[in-house]
A and B are shown apart, each in its own frame.
Chain A
């Protein structure tokens, strides 16, 4: 695997960050772009021009990770030449959230399943129902193939996100990359690090990913009460209070992040389903534990590779973590670097949702507020 990494800034355009003397033509270019940068279509098209023949895949972000640096308003491109592996890409549109599962299943079916090792997904972050998309992907893929990826971000604005593949950047875009090759190893890990607090409440009224009532009272009013002065900053400030959800018994809990609020309906729109009857608790951030979470995710993804050190790590972290970490946000990639070692190229973005299996599983789910790391290596 040979990797070259470039970074684009409005001032300087594309600059090479790291490369190899023996760099060869990449089969895949992954890029993560701030919303404004994505709109600079010349800058985006420059990637295809630089690496003709490669699939160019990217999405908008709430922050771009390049090595251990986190940028805003930039683009980070990672060109990957696989020596022993192949990739396939598919692109589709999801017009309404309701068809997310069906679209996920259809796209998964379009990827050749023969020799498929792993799938990475990038999806539009505001209109796609991530939970349903993950369910569709699970249904459309062989049960041994895991999916990792995330939902595109838009800073803290929640206005417009997009996914790009080889010149297409439709609304509601979803792109899949299938990785093939016997010598390819893929690891993944996903951890949060948020703490639940306060009383547990039952979801008493919800529709899909829209939450109306907890314990029979308005959920929006509850959030406003807890946010206090920060309520004016909703929905972005809602990221400070993700919701942990658990079902009955040993169901592993999920974390859900606010995407939008609806003042008229007195509802909150989350980046994933909030089924009625689930038990919900507010969560709060603890900076040290968020960073520990990134560390833990890195360790999990490394362990999955066995003895081979990772060559590439794709970090997809939730925008909510970034809002909490602020000046300390780069401690996330630094802690990842500590685990993965200096040989791994780190690339990634802050997202509106992460898709990865739970630990010890290949069943992908939509997560919020996690650091989700996918590591790749060829041996």
Chain B
């Protein structure tokens, strides 16, 4: 019997014994009801306990889900403002920081500077080594840039190979320039990508905030300055100047003009002879492009070649040059020395070499002109040797298979690892003018010049010295065993129609080497022809041009 019922019966009736028998069934029903009630309550409590526990579990799960969701939210917020690849702030955050710096600038009395940094050869790395290597390079670049700034400054990746830094209290342009130089230096150091050494370098634009610049203005100015650094030859930092806006406008115009220039026959080829050092024989001519703009007059190749490369105009232009140079070369057949067939050298840009049908095009140019392949020299810039680029090696091999000769231009100035050189089927190296300049001056001669020349010899390649301007250089180059020379000392570039008369004069005015007393008694057997009215005797006697116009070959290398 239920204890409560027992107690109640005891208390109120004196115990179960006192209950009359007819009430037994009633007592039993009450007893059962009491027990049922207990059971029900216990069950309900058990149920509630289970449900509470379950709900607590759910609550915990929800809290975890909420925490995770907040974490995700936080990550998304971070992702929205940071570059996933390098973890640097992105363009949005960078602009915000610049705006803050500009707003704070006047109060703190400090000047705000923005550095716009663009890698110089990123595309080459991406194209030749793949995107994974490109990504690795960007991460490594970020890693080098980060320590370049103080914690108060912001270094960001704006996209592609563009980075930017805002210096919140750069006291002067000089301070900003020092930072830029440090960055140039660190990015000029070798990158190790997938076990290969790669050189890239960067161009940097610097803009200082004036009184009224917005963040967007400052960014645009720095970008513009970077652009100028790029078109000024890369690997440098340029400070923004207001005149740059006009220069850019001019460049945009130039680009527009450039697109129709080929159809309008505004390009002409000039030819500069390449002369054998020992014999004075003309080996051939390098074809150099001139753009005769109807309004601007002759446009400097320095200006238009980079634009042609960036805009892709270079591909069609290059094909025209190739065809034209081959054709011209064949017209010199009658006037040149039959024993010394004249070759023609054409500059080819990396962009052209990456056109899959480039070799076909060369073959067509040879076929239609009738020029024997061995008399065509294709001049390539050193930077195509940057990486172990199988596609490029294959292209050069198929060019070699055509029978043409390959030359490397500006040798010694690039950042290529020389170890790559042997992988490429190159016949000739052209020593950059910068190595030639120091030659022939007692005590000033750079050991590097000698090293570069001897390297060519060691690699069993023929060497051509570029920018030979003085007798001293000439003599020293002969001593050092350089095979050929090209420069104002021999002849300036000349129009195509000038070539036959030059060749005729050359054959008639050969100066026997025994008549020459040059270079402190060194270097006999020289036979050189003076062009354009200046006799060779005069030249070699010291009448070299007092001023040599700037002939920066880098700008021509792509033509």
Which of the 9-residue segments A126-134, A150-158, A159-167, A225-233 touches chain B? Answer: A225-233
Q: Is there an interface contact between B47 and A327, defined as CB atoms closer than 8 Å? A: no
Q: Is there an interface contact between A284 and B36, defined as CB atoms closer than 8 Å? A: no
User: Interface 1/0s, chain A 169-213, versus B by CB < 8 A?
Assistant: 000000000000000000000000000011100000000000000
- In the complex, A358 Cα to B1 Cα: how many Å? 45
Within 8 A of B (CB), among A83-131: none
Given known contacts A226-B50, A228-B43, A327-B29, A199 and B36 CB-to-CB distance under 8 angstroms: no
- In the complex, A284 Cα to B46 Cα: how many Å? 12
Q: Is there an interface contact between A284 and B47, defined as CB atoms closer than 8 Å? A: yes
- In the complex, A282 Cα to B55 Cα: how many Å? 13
Given known contacts A199-B55, A199-B58, A284-B44, A225 and B50 CB-to-CB distance under 8 angstroms: yes
Given known contacts A198-B55, A228-B43, A284-B44, A327 and B33 CB-to-CB distance under 8 angstroms: yes
CB distance from A119 to the nearest CB of B (A): 38
CB distance from B39 to the nearest CB of A (A): 9
Nearest B residue (CB) for A197: B51
- In the complex, A228 Cα to B42 Cα: how many Å? 11
Nearest B residue (CB) for A200: B58
A326 within 8 A of B: yes
Q: Is there an interface contact between B51 and A198, defined as CB atoms closer than 8 Å? A: yes
User: Interface 1/0s, chain A 234-265, versus B by CB < 8 A?
Assistant: 00000010000000000000000000000000
Which residues of B lie under 8 Å from residue A197 when comparing CB positions?
47-48, 51
Nearest A residue (CB) for B57: A199
Which residues of A lie under 8 Å from residue B43 when comparing CB positions?
228, 230, 240
Nearest A residue (CB) for B50: A226
Nearest B residue (CB) for A241: B47
Nearest A residue (CB) for B52: A198
- In the complex, A326 Cα to B36 Cα: how many Å? 9
- In the complex, A315 Cα to B204 Cα: how many Å? 92
- In the complex, A60 Cα to B58 Cα: how many Å? 43
B394 within 8 A of A: no
User: Interface 1/0s, chain B 25-69, versus A by CB < 8 A?
Assistant: 000010011001000000110111011001100100000000000
**Interface size bucket, A side?**
10 to 19
Q: Is there an interface contact between A198 and B36, defined as CB atoms closer than 8 Å? A: no
CB distance from A286 to the nearest CB of B (A): 10
- In the complex, A225 Cα to B49 Cα: how many Å? 11
- In the complex, A228 Cα to B51 Cα: how many Å? 13
Q: Which of B36, B46, B50 contacts A327 (CB 8 A)?
A: B36
Which residues of B lie under 8 Å from residue A228 when comparing CB positions?
43, 46, 50
* Most chain A CB atoms below 10 A, which of B33, B36, B50, B55: B50
- In the complex, A24 Cα to B515 Cα: how many Å? 160
Which residues of B lie under 8 Å from residue A226 when comparing CB positions?
46-47, 50
User: Interface 1/0s, chain B 66-100, versus A by CB < 8 A?
Assistant: 00000000000000000000000000000000000
Nearest B residue (CB) for A240: B43
- In the complex, A284 Cα to B43 Cα: how many Å? 11
Q: Is there an interface contact between A327 and B54, defined as CB atoms closer than 8 Å? A: no
* Most chain A CB atoms below 10 A, which of B36, B51, B55: B51
Which residues of A lie under 8 Å from residue B33 when comparing CB positions?
327
Nearest B residue (CB) for A201: B54
Nearest A residue (CB) for B48: A197
- In the complex, A225 Cα to B33 Cα: how many Å? 26
Which residues of A lie under 8 Å from residue B48 when comparing CB positions?
197
CB distance from B227 to the nearest CB of A (A): 59
Within 8 A of B (CB), among A320-369: 326-327
Which residues of B lie under 8 Å from residue A326 when comparing CB positions?
36
Nearest A residue (CB) for B43: A230
Q: Is there an interface contact between B32 and A327, defined as CB atoms closer than 8 Å? A: yes
CB distance from B55 to the nearest CB of A (A): 6
Q: Which of A199, A230, A240, A284 contacts B54 (CB 8 A)?
A: A199
Which residues of B lie under 8 Å from residue A198 when comparing CB positions?
50-51, 54-55
Which residues of A lie under 8 Å from residue B29 when comparing CB positions?
327
Which residues of A lie under 8 Å from residue B32 when comparing CB positions?
327
- In the complex, A274 Cα to B48 Cα: how many Å? 25
- In the complex, A198 Cα to B33 Cα: how many Å? 28
- In the complex, A226 Cα to B46 Cα: how many Å? 7
- In the complex, A197 Cα to B50 Cα: how many Å? 11
Nearest A residue (CB) for B55: A199
CB distance from B492 to the nearest CB of A (A): 86
- In the complex, A228 Cα to B45 Cα: how many Å? 11
Which residues of A lie under 8 Å from residue B46 when comparing CB positions?
226, 228
- In the complex, A284 Cα to B44 Cα: how many Å? 9
- In the complex, A282 Cα to B50 Cα: how many Å? 12
Which residues of A lie under 8 Å from residue B54 when comparing CB positions?
198-199
Which residues of B lie under 8 Å from residue A327 when comparing CB positions?
29, 32-33, 36
Which residues of B lie under 8 Å from residue A199 when comparing CB positions?
51, 54-55, 58
Which residues of A lie under 8 Å from residue B44 when comparing CB positions?
284
Nearest A residue (CB) for B49: A228
Within 8 A of A (CB), among B410-441: none
When A and B form their complex, which 10 residue pairs have the shortest distance between CB atoms, in order from nearest?
A198-B51, A228-B46, A226-B50, A199-B58, A199-B54, A197-B51, A327-B33, A198-B54, A326-B36, A199-B55
Contacts A198-B50, A199-B51, A228-B46 known; 11 new A-B pairs at CB < 8 A: A197-B47, A197-B51, A198-B54, A198-B55, A199-B54, A199-B58, A226-B46, A226-B47, A226-B50, A326-B36, A327-B29
Of the A-B pairs whose beta carbons lie under 8 Å apart in the complex, a sample of 10, sorted by A's number, is A197-B48, A198-B50, A198-B51, A199-B54, A199-B55, A226-B47, A226-B50, A228-B50, A240-B43, A327-B36
**Chain A residues engaging chain B, CB cutoff 8 angstroms:** 197-199, 225-226, 228, 230, 240, 282, 284, 326-327
